[in-house]
Amino acid sequence: MEAVNPATGERIDTYEEADLPDVERALDDGWGAFQDWRDRPLAEREELIESAGEVLRENKREYAELMTEEMGKPVTQAVAEVEKCAWACDHYAQNAHAYLEDEHYPSPAGTEVKTVYEPLGIVLAVMPWNFPFWQVFRFIAPYITAGNVGVLKHASNVPGCAEAIEEILRDAGYPEGVFQSLLVPSDLVDDVVADDRVRAATLTGSGPAGRAVASAAGDKLKKTVLELGGSDPFVVLDDADLEAAAETGAWARNQNGGQSCIAAKRFIVHSDVYDEYTDRLVDEFESLTIGDPFDEDTDVGPQARQDLLDDLDDQVQASVDAGANVVTGGEPMDRDGAYYPPTVLTDVPAGCPADTEELFGPVATLYEVEDADAAVRKANETEFGLGASVWTEDRDRGERIARRIDAGCVYVNQLTKSDPRVPFGGVKESGYGRELSEIGMKEFVNRKTVWIE
């Protein structure tokens, strides 16, 4: 497994892939660790996740630079990602007891009836490269604190991040085997899922990857949570604050190089403000600083891999050939590294890649609609249903529109984001199940009814 710096194309390091004997040893260790970990008092597990947050904060620059080197995230955004991971650790350190408290029910005199929440065992996490720390810690913080143990199959281009996360938990004081990173190739994932010691799986990634894991798990009747792709609408109504909507919209599309499932991708704009909003949004796109991700002033770094840039450019060029208009950007930059500029497409024809596929990079598509009803129809005109954003000065109107959009989360006058305090997940082709908050923590527990006569 090779880690390559996408800003330079230079190899950083080479890592040895795990094989089936390595997997067997890891699952043995994990299952053995679970027998003790499940019985640890919750207070001790809360203290350990709090310690993990402290380790993250103490070394945040080191971890941020590792992310930047392996997948090109601007270092200031990488620091913010580490801080967000620490926040998730704090959240579950402070709230796990309340989330997992026994729930009592009415019962006959002299009896006690309640639901208790118990861990399942080993949970496999298949995680992507775009937020290489956050995606993993939003798994670790709730599910490991609930008493499960974790095995991570991280993306192959961020092996250093995978090993660093395991080291963080070790430094925080976690017992051996409670969390392990396995540098396995994708073709071994089915074997891991099928193992009897693995009781559940969660995946953040592409639709095909999600289907493969769900199919393998379903064959063994194992619980899964999937967070897949998105083509999130960013709806700008006629009474929106256009300055705020343009500034936030540019960031919502371009942060992390546009490589986010919940990035704003389809900008659906009321005809009364379409021209003005388009001008404002393009100005915001063109004001972003593209450059060395280690430069503190950089807003947009390289794409995470050259092949990802090539795929994105193919989608854009096919859309232009079909009739889409490039307002700004539109082709790879003439410089070393996998750089693609912030791009705006208008007049996007129905059925072209920019209209029907997820563009996983800094490319926005703009659509003009005549009214709010048309905006809702266009927002829902996708196979995806992860997030959405609605912009209007009328909060009640915003809520009414939000309730009509088919998505797992809708933000009014705010960009779509994940937050440890609220549930996160999608519908339709964007997956199922929820992460974070109380609901997320209870995805991988046995909700056991206990009747005491």
Is residue 87 helix, strand or coil?
helix
Residues whose CB is less than 8 angstroms from the CB of residue 304 and which lie 6 or more positions away in sequence, other chains included: 6, 71, 72, 129, 130, 157, 257, 259, 338
DSSP tag of 393: S
Residues whose CB is less than 8 angstroms from the CB of residue 405 and which lie 6 or more positions away in sequence, other chains included: 233, 235, 376, 379, 380, 388, 390
Q: Are 201 and 213 in contact (CB under 8 A)?
A: yes
Q: Which of 85, 89, 261, 409 is catalytic?
A: 261
Residues whose CB is less than 8 angstroms from the CB of residue 12 and which lie 6 or more positions away in sequence, other chains included: 2, 3, 4, 5, 69, 70, 160
Query: Is 227 in the active site?
Result: yes
Structure tokens at 422: 């609220």
Q: What distance in Å separates the CA atoms of residue 56 and residue 319, rounded to the nearest whole number?
A: 42
Q: Are 72 and 161 in contact (CB under 8 A)?
A: no
Total Cβ atoms within 10 A of residue 189: 21
Query: Is 352 in the active site?
Result: no
Total Cβ atoms within 10 A of residue 452: 9
Pairing mode, strands 149-153 and 223-227: unpaired
Q: Are 180 and 152 in contact (CB under 8 A)?
A: yes
Total Cβ atoms within 10 A of residue 288: 18
DSSP code string of 14-79: E-PPP-HHHHHHHHHHHHHHHHHHTTS-HHHHHHHHHHHHHHHHHTHHHHHHHHHHHH---HHHHH
Angle at 228 between CA 366 and CA 281, to 5 degrees: 20
Q: Which of 227, 284, 358, 429 is catalytic?
A: 227
Structure tokens at 4: 């390559």
User: Which residues share a beta bridge with 200?
Assistant: 123, 223
Structure tokens at 18: 């795990």
Amino acid at 201: A
- State the catalytic residues: 227, 261
